[in-house]
Amino acid sequence: MKLVWFRRDLRIKDNPALADACRTGEPVAAIYVATPEQWKSHFVSPRQADLIQRRLEVIRQELEALNIPMLFKVVDNFSDIPVLLAEICQQYQVSDVYCNRDYEYDEIDRDNAVAGTLSLTRIGFHVFDGKCILPPGSVTTGAGKPFQVFTPFKKAWLKIIQSTDYSPLKQPGQIAPTALTKSLIDEAKEIDLRYWHEDSLSWPVDDNTIIQRLRDYCSYRVTKYHQLRDIPSEPATSQLSAYLAIGAISPRQCLARLITEHRDCFSDVKEGPQTWLSEIIWREFYQHVIAINPDLCKGEAFLCWETHISWKHDEILFEKWKQGKTGVPIVDAGMRQLNETGWMHNRLRMIVASFLVKDLHIDWRWGEQYFMSKLIDGDFASNNGGWQWSASVGLDAQPYFRIFNPFTQSKKFDPEGIFIRRWVKELESVSAKHIHEPYNKGYATGSPLSYPKPIVDHSLARKEALSFFEAAKNHKSEQRA
């Protein structure tokens, strides 16, 4: 029997590990191993855990229709998995285990331990690249080195992809049932992660809805993506990120659908389809970065001089930022959206991250971990890359002297205050003229606002940030090789 180990690849279509196991013609079983204590140490959000549980129920039913039983096991940590899988392989006479590769440090360490344990009993361990369209290490400079800047990475990626078969793998066909597979299907237990207490019900988990969302987005809304993607009150983004994060849909499926609808998406014009394709490539870029730089998974910045930055560790200010009570409306609106829904608009992610790092001078790692603990679309590579970009300490990050003015950003991307009013109820009655800075220039409502005043003066905070960033950089440390 062949055993397919599902992780962050919760789909039947375009699943290389599943497809390869099914091609053998032998009986196939599947397994998912939940590791709640490990998840907590990785700040996996309860809402995402709930999404995983609901998606697993869909996967189990789809697999059963193919005569593939799915086992569900719970252990505390990754370190418990090698022995568990070895025991299951022995119990069910499994000859080979198949899975799709994860690129984070702990996950690679886990897989190496599993491979070593299984090899002791001559059980094959087969790992495939299903998380990226082009796997890490396949997009390099002319000298064979990894790219450290996005734009040349994108150019090389586009050149390779246009001579590559990017067609998604089809769903495997039905496998002839055996007495063992029938027995395992009958014995399958309910998938239970109910100790995670936040629901994800606003995110459908069935294939038809997910695929239809992709098709609807690529057929129409993507055409205006370049114009509206920075406006948080507009439904201009795909909101497929949660499904990509758990592998309910693959980036290759996204690319294939985009190309089907927009054959010119590889062109140099900067319209919606081309801009959305760039975001897909950014996701690839960050996956490649962590695979090649494992220290990034250990809390290290890409730029070594970051160790000389004098971060503040002010728990009170950090708590106000988390709760959306900073007195800066656009920041508070973004944080309240995150806390209530588990999702935040990308432009707001940049604004609130810049505010934490450049205005409050708090360590970017605090924000990175808090985001992961809340995001339904939490993905380590994208989250880490975004935070290091905002903190100006990552690979191809914004320059440290480029500091977002949250009030200017607010006026530019939410000019009428539509988004702010949706999430900051204390400002519902404030006019568009004053809503971005309600305490500036003599605003009066006839009654005092219940909304707090800004917890920091942006202009002063900006000067201080420039000073300590420059001092850190002048230590002459170089970025990692």
- In angstroms, the CA 318 to CA 156 distance is 40
Three-state SS at 92: coil
Active site residue 261: no
- In angstroms, the CA 333 to CA 344 distance is 10
Active site residue 364: yes
Which residue in 5, 157, 203, 282 is the catalytic one?
282
Q: Check whether 98 is labelled as a binding-site residue.
A: no
DSSP 71: E
Which residue in 203, 387, 389, 423 is the catalytic one?
387
DSSP 342: S
CA neighbours within 13 Å on the CB side: how many for 277? Answer: 27
Q: Check whether 147 is labelled as a binding-site residue.
A: no
Which residue in 321, 364, 366, 389 is the catalytic one?
364
Written as six digits, the tokens of 12 are: 């039947």
Q: Check whether 194 is labelled as a binding-site residue.
A: no
Which residue in 311, 405, 426, 464 is the catalytic one?
311
Which residue in 234, 346, 426, 464 is the catalytic one?
346
Q: Check whether 237 is labelled as a binding-site residue.
A: yes
Q: Check whether 395 is labelled as a binding-site residue.
A: no
Q: Check whether 282 is labelled as a binding-site residue.
A: yes
Active site residue 423: no
Which residue in 57, 64, 234, 279 is the catalytic one?
279
Active site residue 387: yes
Q: Facing residues of 34 across strands?
A: 74
Q: Check whether 239 is labelled as a binding-site residue.
A: yes
Q: Check whether 203 is labelled as a binding-site residue.
A: no
Q: Check whether 284 is labelled as a binding-site residue.
A: yes
Q: Check whether 9 is labelled as a binding-site residue.
A: no
Q: Check whether 281 is labelled as a binding-site residue.
A: yes
Query: Would you say the C-alpha torsion 347, 353, 355, 357 has a positive or negative sign?
Result: negative
Q: Check whether 276 is labelled as a binding-site residue.
A: yes
Q: Check whether 160 is labelled as a binding-site residue.
A: no
Q: Closest Cα to residue 204, out of 248, 170, 146?
A: 248
Q: Closest Cα to residue 222, out of 175, 275, 185, 186?
A: 275
Active site residue 293: no
Q: Check whether 450 is labelled as a binding-site residue.
A: no
CB 397 within 8 A of CB 216: no
Q: Check whether 285 is labelled as a binding-site residue.
A: yes
- In angstroms, the CA 392 to CA 402 distance is 9
- In angstroms, the CA 148 to CA 404 distance is 23
CB 222 within 8 A of CB 70: no
Active site residue 282: yes
- In angstroms, the CA 105 to CA 388 distance is 18
Q: What residues act catalytically?
A: 279, 282, 311, 346, 364, 387
Binding residue positions: 225, 237-241, 276, 279-286, 377-379
Binding residue positions for FAD: 225, 237-241, 276, 279-286, 377-379
